[in-house]
Structure formats: structure tokens, C-alpha cells
Structure 1
Amino acid sequence: MHDRPRRSVLYMPGANARALEKARTLPADGLILDLEDAVTPEAKAQAREQVVAAAQAGGYGRREVVVRVNGLDTPWGHADLTAAATCGADAVLLPKVETAEALRQAERVLAAAGAPESLALWAMVETPRGVLTVAEVAAGSRRLACLVMGTSDLAKDLRCAHTPDRLPFLASFGLVLLAGRANGLAVLDGVHLDLDDADGLAAACRQGRDLGFDGKTLIHPNQIEAANRAFAPTPDEVARARRLIAAHAEATAAGKGITVVDGKLVEALHVEQARRLVALAEAVGIAG
């Protein structure tokens, strides 16, 4: 389901058994159990075992469980994908995706390992080439459900600064959002690295929401609340959406194509937006 809540998606280091356990109690919409950047080479095999065991054990409730694997061009990628295929996770996140062929290679490994049809692929967009080829990638696999911005790696390759307004990333954000939306995918914003900068995190979350992201990837549980708040509708917004849906239904029943709510013209496209907003609110328990 592409429209499930993904306001807050938290990276959890796969080598840290306590973190994998704690993740079962955190109010994040999604969890990325990480075998890649967060794990040193000597800990890769142990992390894989722990992540697979954690996913198989379950207990994560409604949280979406995603395993970030190492790339197939590394010594660990093939074993990661094979192990993740049947561990019970909702999705596998591929790092540094730059071609549709990379998705197809991962699909072949997953299929050979017996992955169910329901196992989704997520793709990290974190290199200049990945941004420039994202239109091809976004259309590259029927398993693909989500694009994830990797702003740390992207900043390194672009040689750009992490400014408060994130202006250096806006071109990349725009291309990835366009490709994601054109193909019906979810799109997640990159991480906020400064754990002591609550105001900056809140601003980045608001900016991400305004740009059109579905949610934000996070590196610490303390960041969950800010993301959940920013990417969820307010009770007032939900109430207005319900009024809009009701008014449009009334107008349609009376044979009118358009109606006015709160002084604004309402057309079918506004109703579609309102329905999505209400569905998100219901999924995360916001009344309105």
C-alpha cells in the first residue's frame, strides 16, 4: 500500500540488538533495520543474523519494517538480499540506486530466494547520477514502492553545504518528487544530522511537507515526534476536508459539477486531496 503512513521512518543500526528491541515500542511509522552505513565490515554478518531474527520474531505492530541491504556490488549484498527475502519484512531498501537494472538485479535475487509478491523494494537516491536517472529508476520495477533521499551522501558528492534553508538540495528534491509522483510512489525526505537542533529539525520537516514528501527519515528516536507532527494533518484540516467531501457529494447528487466551501471553489481534484488527507488522519488516529 503506497498510501500507508510514513511520517517518520527511523534508521536502526542492525548490529545493535538493544536498538532492534527498543524499536518495537517507538511511535515511528516505519523502521529501517540497517545493514549498510550503520554497520562496520566486521559486524556485517552478525548484523544480518540479528536483523533477520528480529524481523521474523515480529512484534513491530503497525510499523512498516524495512531492511536496508548492502549493494550487490559489495561482498555482503547478495547474502543480505537472500536473507531479507523471506524474513517477514515489508520492504528491502537498496542503497545508491542509479539504474533500473539495479532494481531488476535485486528482483532476480529476491525471486530466487523465494520472496513473496508482497515484499516491496525501496530505493535510495543519494548520488548525482541517481538523481539524474531517477525517472528511469522510478518506472523500473513493479515491486518499487518508495524513493528515499540520501542527503548526506548527496551533499558529499555535490560538495554542497547543509544550509538551514536546504537550498543546495532543492533541484534534487524536485526531480525525485516528480519521478516518484509520476509513478505512484511514496517519497521520503533525507535525515537531519544535528541532534541538538530541534528548531532546525522542525523547520526541515515543515519544508519537506511543503515540498510534497510523505515523511522524513530519522537517525534518532528523539526526532520522531517532530516528524509525526509535521507530516500529519491538524484536526482543523481534517474537519475542513470532511466538510469539503460532504459538500461535493451533495453538489454532485444535485447535478452540480462544482461547489464552494469556506469561500473557495471545490472541484474533483480537491476532493481527491481531501480523501487522502482523511485517510492519513484515520490511519494515525487524528480526529477532526
Structure 2
Amino acid sequence: MTREASIRPRRSVLYMPGSNARALEKARALDVDALILDLEDAVAPDAKDIARDQVRAAVAAGGYGSRELVIRVNGPATPWGAADLDMAIAARPDAILLPKVSSPADLERVAHKLNAARVPARTALWAMMETPLAMLNAAAIAASAANPETRLACFVMGTNDLAKETRAALVPGRAPMRPWLMTCVAAARAYGIDIVDGVYNTLDDEAGFAAECQEGVEMGMDGKTLIHPRQVAPCNAAFSPADKDIAWARRIIAEFEKPENASKGAIQVEGRMVERLHAQMGARLVAIADAIAARSR
């Protein structure tokens, strides 16, 4: 089995409680790149079965357009994990998000079940990076993506659980978290997968949320997980390529495509020296911008 490489925007990734039928319906109209239909942290124990049924029905009904649909299941050691995974495999969403991933084996066990059920390769696996072991094993976990049968496409930073498990403080600027965040960014980039930042917990702190989005952009994150629809618009704005950057990328690409520059590793564009790697970086930026524009239509 092989998975087709694709570039799609993951600027805004919104958690939606699977137990809230109204929220699942409202999500069909939100200007969000991806929806995590949550069966885990956002759902109380006595609502787990209802949530599973409602998420199954929501995915089957469709109507979410180009929004990426991701089902977050409960862990295999919980009373609900096995039933959640069976449902998610049958539902065939865009991705299944696995909590508490701490080693490649956690992914491989689920990937084996997906492949045995002949689920099409378009259903990927996403990994919650939220344990101390995940931080220590980030490179090995990301390396699973080298095997297409493992289906790994994205890291999701679980900063709240990581703070709980490590006793590190969640403070403005996230200095205690930055080494782990950047370790996961490096691992994701080394093996060609996406990575989205953790949630911001304070809904009424717009300045703080904007600052943390900017931190994520500067770290190299692809987007951010969100806890409320009001966070979507500022998050999309923060993680969208700027018009001037898109124009500059197109200019560099065009210059390197000229016959006289075909064999050159570096050229001068508008008085600035640029290397071919800048054209490669620009090509991805343009692809993301085009994908955002296509999703918006």
C-alpha cells in the first residue's frame, strides 16, 4: 500500500466534542481547515457511547465540504478504546487521531488493523504528542512515516497533557515547553509530516492567543489546535502565507525556470542572491496558498 503525498492547509484544527450534536452540525459551516471529532478528553465518561454513535452518524452524513475530518479515539487501555477504533475504522474519515502515542509500536498496531480491514490509504493516522516518552522518542515516532503502510501524516501537540505529565508550567512564551516543541518540529520535518501546535486555554485573551499563534508560526508549525470557533479566524490569518511572500516565491520560481538559469544553484533576483533551495521552499508556500484559495471557493 502506498499513500499519495498531498499538500493541504492545516492552519486551524478545531476540537469538536462528539457528544454535542449541535456542535457537530454547526461545524459544517465553519471556516476551518480540519475538525477533530473528539471521543476522548472533550467527552465525559457517561457520554462516550452517545458520542461514538453521533460521530459515526456525522461522518456518514457528510456535508463537511473540504474540511478534513479527524476522529480522535480513546486509548486502547480505556474501556472505550476498542469500540472507538472499530467505529473509526468503519467510518473511514480523513484521519484517526491516536492519543498518548509514545512509541512507533503504538502507531503500527493501529495501522495493521486499518490495512487488514482494507481501509483506503486516504485515511491517515495522526499522533498526539503529549507524554514524556513521546518527547524522548519523537524522531523514532516520526520515522514511522517512512513506511507508507504506517499512514502517519501529522503530529498534534498535546501541551496540556504534556504539562500535566512533566509538571512543566504553561506560561506566556512557553519557555519550559519550547525544547519539546522544537524537537517535535525537527522530527516532523525530518520525515515529511505536518505538525500542529497545542491549544490556547484562555478564550477571552485575544492578545495572548495572537501571540501564541505567532510563536507557532515562528517555530515552523503548520497550524494550531483550537477549542472554540471564535479562535478560527485569527488562527487562519496567522498561519496563512502573506501576499508579499507568495508574490516573492512566485518570482523566484519563475526566475529559476528560465532556460538560462536551469543549471544554476544561485541567481540574483531584484538585487538579492537566492539559492535553488529558496525556490523549493517557495514552491511549497505557493502550493499551500493555492490549497487555501481552493478551499475558500
Equivalent of 2:101, from 97, 104, 123? 97
Output one character per residue of 1:6-38: Cα deviation in whole Å (capped at 9) or x when no partner.
000000000000000011000010000000001
Q: Distance in 1 between matches of 2:35 and 2:142?
A: 22
Aligned residue type for 1:87: A
Normalising by structure 2, what TM-score?
A: 0.92
8 Å CA contact 1:96–1:125 kept in 2: the answer is: yes
* Matched residue SS, 2:288: helix
Q: CA deviation at 1:42?
A: 1.2
Distance 1:247 1:70, change over 3 A: same
Output one character per residue of 1:213-263: Cα deviation in whole Å (capped at 9) or x when no partner.
000000000001111111111111111111111122226546544211233
Match of 2:7 in 1: 3
**Any stretches of 5+ residues in structure 1 without a counterpart?**
none
RMSD in angstroms over aligned alpha carbons? 1.7
* Matched residue SS, 1:285: helix
Equivalent of 2:197, from 157, 180, 189? 189
Residue 137 (structure 1) aligned with residue 145 (structure 2): no
Distance 1:116 1:86, change over 3 A: farther
Q: CA deviation at 1:111?
A: 3.4
* Matched residue SS, 2:91: coil
Match of 2:253 in 1: 245
Residue 270 (structure 1) aligned with residue 278 (structure 2): yes
Equivalent of 1:88, from 86, 92, 102? 92
Q: Distance in 2 between matches of 1:2 and 1:190?
A: 23
8 Å CA contact 1:241–1:277 kept in 2: the answer is: yes
* Matched residue SS, 1:140: helix
Q: CA deviation at 1:140?
A: 2.5
8 Å CA contact 1:34–1:69 kept in 2: the answer is: yes
Q: Distance in 2 between matches of 1:222 and 1:171?
A: 29
Q: Distance in 1 between matches of 2:271 and 2:32?
A: 37
Match of 2:172 in 1: 164
Q: State the identity as a percent.
A: 53
8 Å CA contact 1:12–1:33 kept in 2: the answer is: yes
Residue 36 (structure 1) aligned with residue 40 (structure 2): yes
Aligned residue type for 1:77: G
* Matched residue SS, 2:177: helix
8 Å CA contact 1:155–1:162 kept in 2: the answer is: yes
Normalising by structure 1, what TM-score?
A: 0.95
Distance 1:250 1:98, change over 3 A: same
